[in-house]
Amino acid sequence: MRSLITHLAGLTPEQLGGLIARRPEALLPPEPATMTELAERLSAPHLIGVALLGLSRPELQIAEALAALGDGCDRAELAAALGVATDDADLDATLVGLGEVAVAWLDGDRLRTVPLGHVWPCPLGLGAPLSAVLAKQRAEDLRRIARTLGVPVGTQKAVTVRNLSAWLADGANVREISATAPADTRELLHQLAWEGPYLDEPLYLYGRRKGPVQWAVEHGLIHVAAHWGAPLQMPCEVALALRGADYRLSFDPVPPSAPTAQVDGKAVERESASASGTALARMVNLLEECGRMPVAPLKTGGVGVRELRRLAKAIGDSAEHVRLWLELGMTTGLLAPTEAGLLPTEAYDAWSDQQPAEQLTGLLAGWLSSEGAPLHQPAGAGQPVPALVRTADSAAMPLLRAAVLGVSAGLPPGAAAVDVEAVISLARWRNPLLVDHLEDTTGLVGGVWWEAQLLGAVAHGALSDLGRALAADQPQQLAAVLDRLLPPAEETVLLQADLTAVVVGTPSRTLAALLDAAADREARGGASTWRFSPASVRRALDAGGSESELLTALRDRATGARVPQPLEYLINDTARRHGAIRVRPSPAACAATTRCY
């Protein structure tokens, strides 16, 4: 613990901020107030497991190797076990990555780790290091083993432990002595070296242990546990030596090759701009529709297929995409369940007044943190599952989205993943613990890949500038990209002589409200279109406005401050007849027939 505290205290504010960004669970309430409390939090077993989920394959390989070699192992010892030079650049980079998440760090010439025994009780199938195993043996047993091997016996147990550790840590010594063992003992040693490290044996209540085990115990290649009834154990260094002089621990610092295709960067950005604008428009349309008619949830939870299809028809989208828009609405707090159903919240009012770039920023943050998998259809489910339901992998979804973006960010410039299998292959290298423990890896990764395309983070299989900003977690860079992709909301409308109104881009909330009150919306998306009619104008007048007020409001918003003559005639004519009552005599006994306009 003291070493970790010293490591944390030596970090710069930027490095400490980066560590917290990669391990936000360390700041869960109650937040640590001192370096000691932070070190205790980072060393908590359940939080270490969370940190390992975000490690790449080489980082996990080094972490497991350090767990096998023991806390405080020498860097040169690690390099030798891996078969690389002590100053290997890939090893340096991997150790830096482990230090950035406080899983392992340099302490002088030694490498320290947080407790990893609960994660890997037998890392790489190896037992505890010699220093730990020998320290638990009785002094007379150690002296007996030392005499058998011809190792100097010290006057103190610590000296004997040190001498034996040095002798047995030499692979040549272990291989030479094991070659003199009986055949059945050699077979047992080979089995423990590759499949060990523990060996259960019958209890010897009387007499000495016999058979192949006894020779290995007498020569220090396996050791009796310090407490009664525990299995025998082969130390880590002995097993590594018996695996062969050429055996090396796995270390794969280079990502696997995956099929890619060349794409045009300008085409990627055009597609990204189109997708992000469409996503925002669909989200606005969905929230407006939910405000007009609450979404009825199923009694068992979630939103059923019938409601999804109704919403899809209302906003001009597909039921599959509606699943994503509902998930974003719930995650960002723009939608909430009520007794009447899902309805927009008070946060929706504030969100509606924001500029498009700000609106999409909130939606993207909600997407990254969402625990839902809205576009995932479980294999063998038959019928589509309801929207807004959680699965066994829900807690892993934020990490999976970050992993998919990270994989795309790691592709060479101008390269695109040809299919989801290429993404999965790279994701398995980037986050093996996360990806390999998903119940449906292909379905979940494919769903996230689809989500990223709908939001504009990925286009034509390549990461866009928007996705790159998300992957790098750079708020300022993200804001600059969104300002470029999504111009400010339009405050003006083009009124045409055919009684239509066209807004190119995203209409502001006040402009959309004015046009929705006096016209019928016909098209949404990159350009929104409304059409005026006697019925729509009458609707605006019924709401309490006058023709002069309506004409003034339209003129103030119109391009060139001009209202076309046909539209002006329509409004004046409808207003002239508005509220009039026509009375006609009836030839029958009825007193009168009235008709209202």
Rounded-to-integer distance, Cα 597 and Cα 595, Å:
7
Q: What burial class does residue 205 get, using C-beta atoms within 10 Å of its C-beta: 0-12 exposed, 13-18 middle, 19+ buried?
A: exposed
Tell me the pLDDT tens digit for each residue of 523-564.
Answer: 876 678 999 999 999 999 998 888 899 999 999 999 999 999
Tell whether the model's pLDDT for residue 203 goes beyond 50: no
545 token code pair? 């406005």
Q: Residue 470 in contact with residue 409, Cβ under 8 Å?
A: no
Q: What is the mean pLDDT of residues 151-176?
A: 92
Confidence of residue 21 (pLDDT cuts 50, 70, 90): confident
Task: Write out the H or E segment, with its range, that includes residue 322.
Answer: helix 319-331
User: Which amino acid, one-letter code, is at 517?
Assistant: A
Name the maximum alpha-carbon separation found in the chain. 132
Q: Percent of the chain beyond pLDDT 70?
A: 94
Q: What is the mean pLDDT of residues 577-597?
A: 63
Locate the domains of the chain by residue range. Answer: 2-121, 130-242, 260-485, 494-581
Helix axes 89-100, 57-69, angle to 10 degrees: 90
Q: Residue 91 in contact with residue 111, Cβ under 8 Å?
A: no
257 token code pair? 């090759």
189 token code pair? 């040693």
Q: Residue 201 in contact with residue 213, Cβ under 8 Å?
A: yes
In 258-344, DSSP assigns E strands to 260-262, 335-338, 341-344
472 token code pair? 């790098």
Q: What is the 3-state secondary structure (H, E, C) of 341-401?
A: EEEECHHHHHHHCCCHHHHHHHHHHHHHHCCCCCCCCCCCCCCCCCECCCCCCHHHHHHHH
Q: What is the mean pLDDT of residues 295-303?
A: 92
Nearest to 433 by CA among 84, 50, 40, 169: 50
Q: Residue 237 in contact with residue 429, Cβ under 8 Å?
A: no
CB atoms closer than 10 angstroms to residue 336 = 14
Rounded-to-integer distance, Cα 318 and Cα 300, Å:
23
User: What pLDDT does 381 receive?
Assistant: 66
What ranges in 126-235 are assigned the alpha helix state H?
130-135, 139-149, 157-168, 171-178, 183-195, 212-218
User: Which amino acid, one-letter code, is at 524?
Assistant: R
Tell me the pLDDT tens digit for each residue of 142-157.
Answer: 999 999 999 999 889 9
In 187-311, DSSP assigns E strands to 198-199, 232-233, 260-262
The CATH architecture one would assign to domain 2-121 is Orthogonal Bundle (1.10)
Q: What is the mean pLDDT of residues 465-470?
A: 95
Q: DSSP character for 30?
A: S
Task: Write out the H or E segment, with its range, that includes residue 122.
Answer: none
Mean pLDDT, the chain, rounded, equals: 90
CB atoms closer than 10 angstroms to residue 308 = 22
User: What pLDDT does 590 receive?
Assistant: 53
